[in-house]
């Protein structure tokens, strides 16, 4: 096994060293489409050509080479045998993967990872996530550049081409053109409004979230049926679909013995925001189309993702991933690290006993790759629980406090009134063996990762808007009046 | 107990007699609203004033007085004691009920029934169901008049006022106005696209169905939260949400013992059309809002409804209910009766072992009334399975064949290729005790009802379009191309 971050003829980033990223030659890596829905990107590169970039915090993640090698994971064939890395790269070569939502937090990291693995990747994105930031007056901690610049830089660094199709999958004419022109063999679908608090801001956002997510996914299902019936849908669901039942959570299905009879049925869903509910709706819709039309799909019920860097996003500052810390899009752990870095108390909602599944973003990209390399069968609706460890919010607060103190930060956690409606103390035991069986090599939460993430947050701490850290949306207070002013979006 | 159809000072219809329906005086019973979304109705009555109407087929339904008395059902208070009819009427008096979708098959019958019981009823309807008929070139067997004429006639016959608010609940401005002006104490929500085949015609109809149903219901939930938080939502779901599991179907929830632990969770859903799926989505959304906002809701998972007359719709030909027999909106039993009446073979889909719950439309109106009279508690999401008997398609074909032959009809059943994707032989045992516990007195399927329904179909047989009887929509062949020509809507 080799370390993906320091090989392959790409710029090698050593811990805490300045690195000159001049590998690759600039070419126009973006396909311009003539369809009216596709937006051409600007050709200027405001940051100029190659430049020195300090990615000092990446070092601590890179030290454990065995862990940090998503390229080296065993991908198993239908016979269940792990295939070699060479075989994996061979099978990836040229395989066309459409990454819907490829400009987002998980999507961007995944698109680059798949591109590096040899897949031919097209990003489909409406870029509306960037509009949400503008409308709410929030911003990623990290200074991300435009998708067009990102793609150009990736081409310069890696020599790989990424297609970009800018449009809304709720617009079927656009999506149909995208399918017909790109002819994907797999579609990775991250293209949804992904924030529970956003879906609870006001009626408009609740309706937007369910419409956008449910209809967008319906359109993807129809596009696959019509244009690429062999195409494998890899859909991002969420562990939040299950809620917090008092029994073990299984992966998608549960065998029930009832009144002397037995059946294996979809696991009951108890989602707790309009966002989480939209994913429940998607899961039901996808399951039906697998049965009725023989589509092949994998629903990745993902836990809360933390971390910001993958080997690919770390290659250049213009490839940097977004990192949300605000009360609407920020998620636990990432938000705690930013809070610790800027001297803001860690905001534990309520009692802090809320337990969920978590995973490193480097495992997100691994899991998606594993799903693609081991596709579902025709007619199969497969569900994987995509996380590596369970933590309570209090567990995370303690870990961040400890890691922060090691770096000389004064960290304290406070309990704030829980803006959500959720159990704050509950049983939680969710299974997650299917991806491990396919070869997932987890990056467990480590002091190194926390140290890296805290350093990262400290580096960009001047970009933090302290007024945006507190929880901003109440599950109970949501109303029908549109909250048009960003300043209104607070408790 | 008295017979509702032959008392109350209203016109009394005796079996097979011509009846002069002159009770009540014509007044304008429709509230005209100034909101731009409300459409005023025409004041002309093309059918003139009172006229003789022959409702001969109603007789056989009326003979069993004990069964045919929805007004006399026991409505139980919180203490579980059945309350008297007088008490029931007293509690109904003036209570404001909004019936969304009140121009439809179940909605119209329910609106009249509730109005007769003393409730103050407002019908909210976009009338889009009538547009579907126009667009697909289909029509109800029965000659229904406009909603405005229906309401005027009801006022003339009964002396009761029905408000009419014409608009689309997906338009929140309209719905908000409707809530603010009417201030409902309960909302009965039939206002959804209700045909599984319609949702499977093409991508556009699939998307329309899910958007219309899910967003409409979300709007209703928000309107209740904002304007009438005490209001009880009585939502029409479907038994089709459950699919055909190999274990007993419970009412909404199932207690699961798993790995040594126990929890009572939402019953797993396996819907089999985009329409049925939309109801699954609704159920999840409603359950969440009951928990998060303390709304009170009853989900009536209704079986297949048959029959056409209720005591109220039978009072005048202009109060007649719609009866759909076509391949898109026609449902089993009703469709079989029309087929038998016009000499068309009964179309059994596939093997005919498909078993479902069924109920008489007179029980639909009873069940809704029982739910209203016994509201859910704040925060409670209650699920009732609303049907009275289980039948397989073959059972129904046999029953209609037998009843038809008694009337001298030559009836034969044929198996046609199943346009749906569904199990044709399966276990099916669904619980349905909760409405019975509240006092439901079922109208079981009888020779009398079949005789009545066949006679009804024979009366209007000249309105049947034979070309519209066969199944018209294939679950597997649905595509993205809009089917704009009605003649295209066939297998």
Catalytically active residues of A, by annotation = 238, 275, 279
Q: Mean per-residue pLDDT for B271-278?
A: 98
A257 has a chain B CB within 8 A of its CB: yes
B224 has a chain A CB within 8 A of its CB: no
Interface-testing mutation among A197, A269, A383, with chain B (most B C-beta atoms within 10 A): A269
pLDDT of B17 higher than 60: no
pLDDT value at position A487? 55
At B86, the pLDDT band (50, 70, 90 cuts) reads low
Interface-testing mutation among B196, B200, B242, B281, with chain A (most A C-beta atoms within 10 A): B281
Quick check: is B279 catalytic? yes
pLDDT value at position A51? 27
Is there a contact between B274 and A291 if contact means CB atoms under 8 Å apart?
no
pLDDT digits (tens, 9 = 90+) for A214-237: 999 999 999 999 999 999 999 999
pLDDT value at position B26? 34
Q: And the tokens for B365?
A: 């109106």
- Which of these is catalytic: B119, B198, B242, B275? B275
pLDDT digits (tens, 9 = 90+) for B386-415: 999 999 999 999 999 999 999 999 999 999
A109, A132, A170, A177, B49 from A101: Cα distances, Å:
11, 14, 13, 17, 62
Largest Cα–Cα separation, chain A: 71
Contacts of residue A40, Cβ cutoff 8 Å, sequence gap at least 6: A32
CA distance B272 to chain A (A): 6
pLDDT of B342 higher than 90: yes
In angstroms, the CA B430 to CA B250 distance is: 6
pLDDT value at position B489? 56
Answer for the pair B368, B300: CB distance below 8 angstroms, yes or no.
yes
In angstroms, the CA B333 to CA A374 distance is: 46
Chain A positions touching B280 (Cβ under 8 A) are: 281, 284
A66 has a chain B CB within 8 A of its CB: no
Is there a contact between A291 and B271 if contact means CB atoms under 8 Å apart?
no
A172 has a chain B CB within 8 A of its CB: yes
pLDDT value at position A94? 87
Is there a contact between A245 and B263 if contact means CB atoms under 8 Å apart?
yes
pLDDT value at position B81? 55
Q: And the tokens for A47?
A: 């940051």
Answer for the pair B382, B253: CB distance below 8 angstroms, yes or no.
no
In angstroms, the CA B315 to CA B5 distance is: 9
Interface of A with B in 271-300 (CB under 8 A): 271-274, 277, 280-281, 284-285, 287-288, 291-293
pLDDT value at position A87? 63
A259 has a chain B CB within 8 A of its CB: yes
Chain B positions touching A196 (Cβ under 8 A) are: none
Answer for the pair A374, A368: CB distance below 8 angstroms, yes or no.
no
Q: And the tokens for B91?
A: 């509690």
What's the N-to-C CA distance of chain B in angstroms?
50
At B25, the pLDDT band (50, 70, 90 cuts) reads very low
pLDDT of B44 higher than 90: no
pLDDT tens-digit profile, chain A (491 residues): 333 333 333 333 332 222 333 333 333 333 333 333 332 222 222 222 222 223 333 333 333 333 333 333 444 444 445 455 566 667 777 899 999 999 999 999 999 999 999 999 999 999 999 999 999 999 999 999 999 999 999 999 999 999 999 999 999 999 999 999 999 999 999 999 999 999 999 999 999 999 999 999 999 999 999 999 999 999 999 999 999 999 999 999 999 999 999 999 999 999 999 999 999 999 999 999 999 999 999 999 999 999 999 999 999 999 999 999 999 999 999 999 999 999 999 999 999 999 999 999 999 999 999 999 999 999 999 999 999 999 999 999 999 999 999 999 999 999 999 999 999 999 999 999 999 999 999 999 999 999 999 999 999 999 999 999 998 899 999 999 999 765 555 54
In angstroms, the CA A305 to CA A273 distance is: 18
Is there a contact between A262 and B246 if contact means CB atoms under 8 Å apart?
yes
In angstroms, the CA B408 to CA B110 distance is: 34
pLDDT value at position B88? 64
Of A218, A194, A225, nearest in space to A107 by CA:
A194
**Stretch among A132-136, B40-44, B380-384 having the lowest mean pLDDT:** B40-44
Is there a contact between B215 and A218 if contact means CB atoms under 8 Å apart?
no
pLDDT value at position B94? 87
pLDDT value at position B12? 32
Of residues A210, A223, A265, nearest to B270 (C-beta): A265
Q: And the tokens for A91?
A: 């099978």
Q: How many CB pairs under 8 A join A and B?
A: 161
Nearest CA in chain A to B172: A480
pLDDT value at position A382? 98
Q: Mean per-residue pLDDT for B156-183?
A: 98
B247 has a chain A CB within 8 A of its CB: yes
In angstroms, the CA B127 to CA A316 distance is: 58
Contacts of residue A236, Cβ cutoff 8 Å, sequence gap at least 6: A106, A188, A189, A190, A192, A300, A302
CA distance B116 to chain A (A): 34
Is there a contact between A248 and B263 if contact means CB atoms under 8 Å apart?
no
Per DSSP, B485 falls in state S
Could you tell me how many residues make up chain A?
A: 491
Claim: this prediction has a pTM higher than 0.95: no
pLDDT of B50 higher than 60: no
Angle at A443 between CA A442 and CA A444, to 5 degrees: 100
CA distance A57 to chain B (A): 41
Answer for the pair A148, A47: CB distance below 8 angstroms, yes or no.
no
Chain B positions touching A378 (Cβ under 8 A) are: none
Nearest CA in chain B to A216: B207
Is there a contact between A254 and B256 if contact means CB atoms under 8 Å apart?
yes
Which residues of B146-198 form beta strands (DSSP E)?
A: 162-166, 186-189
pLDDT value at position A72? 36
Interface of A with B in 424-443 (CB under 8 A): 427
pLDDT digits (tens, 9 = 90+) for B52-69: 223 333 333 333 333 333
pLDDT value at position A342? 96
pLDDT digits (tens, 9 = 90+) for B277-286: 999 999 999 9
Is there a contact between B247 and A267 if contact means CB atoms under 8 Å apart?
no
* Whole-number average pLDDT of chain B: 85
A242 has a chain B CB within 8 A of its CB: no
Of residues B256, B277, B479, nearest to A256 (C-beta): B256
In angstroms, the CA B270 to CA B277 distance is: 8
What is the layout of strands, in order, in the sheet containing B232-238?
A: B162-166, B120-125, B96-100, B186-189, B232-238, B296-302, B381-386
Angle at B281 between CA B275 and CA B283, to 5 degrees: 110
Answer for the pair B346, B469: CB distance below 8 angstroms, yes or no.
no
């Amino acid at each position: 096994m080799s370390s993906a971050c320091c090989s392959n003829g790409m710029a090698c980033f050593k811990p805490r060293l300045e690195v000159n990223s001049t590998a690759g030659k600039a070419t126009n890596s973006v396909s311009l489409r003539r369809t009216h829905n596709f937006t051409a990107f600007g050709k200027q590169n405001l940051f100029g050509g190659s430049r020195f970039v300090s990615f000092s915090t990446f070092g601590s993640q890179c030290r454990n080479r065995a862990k940090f090698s998503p390229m080296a994971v065993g991908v198993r064939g239908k016979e269940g045998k792990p295939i070699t890395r060479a075989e994996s790269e061979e099978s990836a070569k040229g395989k066309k993967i459409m990454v819907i939502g490829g400009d987002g937090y998980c999507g961007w990291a995944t698109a680059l990872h798949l591109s590096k693995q040899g897949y031919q990747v097209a990003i489909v994105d409406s870029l509306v996530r960037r509009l949400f930031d503008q409308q709410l007056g929030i911003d990623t901690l990290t200074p991300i550049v435009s998708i067009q610049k990102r793609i150009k830089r990736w081409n310069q660094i890696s020599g790989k081409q990424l297609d970009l199709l800018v449009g809304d999958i709720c617009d079927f004419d656009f999506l149909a053109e995208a399918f017909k022109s790109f002819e994907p063999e797999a579609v990775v679908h991250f293209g949804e409004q992904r924030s529970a608090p956003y879906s609870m801001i006001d009626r408009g956002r609740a309706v937007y979230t369910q419409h956008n997510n449910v209809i967008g996914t319906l359109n993807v299902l129809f596009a696959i049926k019509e244009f690429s019936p062999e195409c494998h849908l890899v859909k991002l669901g969420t562990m939040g679909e299950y809620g917090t039942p008092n029994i073990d959570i299984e992966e998608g299905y549960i065998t029930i013995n009832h009144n002397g009879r037995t059946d294996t049925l979809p696991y009951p869903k108890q989602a707790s925001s309009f966002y989480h509910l939209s994913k429940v709706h998607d899961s039901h819709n996808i399951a039906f189309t697998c049965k009725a039309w023989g589509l092949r799909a994998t629903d990745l019920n993902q836990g809360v993702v933390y971390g910001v860097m993958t080997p690919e996003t770390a290659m250049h500052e213009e490839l940097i991933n977004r990192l949300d810390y605000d009360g609407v899009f920020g998620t636990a752990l990432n938000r705690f690290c930013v809070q610790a870095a800027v001297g803001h108390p860690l905001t534990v909602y309520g009692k802090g006993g809320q337990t969920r599944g978590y995973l490193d973003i480097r495992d997100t990209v691994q899991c998606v790759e594993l799903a693609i390399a081991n596709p579902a069968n025709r007619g199969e609706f497969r569900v994987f629980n995509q996380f590596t460890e369970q933590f309570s919010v209090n567990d995370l607060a303690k870990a961040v406090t400890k890691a922060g103190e090691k770096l000389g930060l004064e960290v304290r956690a406070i309990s704030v009134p829980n803006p959500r409606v959720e159990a704050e103390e509950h049983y939680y035991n969710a299974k997650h063996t299917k991806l491990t069986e396919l070869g997932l090599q987890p990056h467990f939460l480590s002091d190194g990762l926390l140290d890296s993430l805290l350093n990262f947050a400290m580096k960009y701490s001047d970009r933090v808007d302290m007024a945006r850290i507190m929880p901003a949306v109440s599950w109970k207070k949501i109303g029908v009046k549109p909250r048009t002013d960003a300043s209104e979006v607070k408790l």
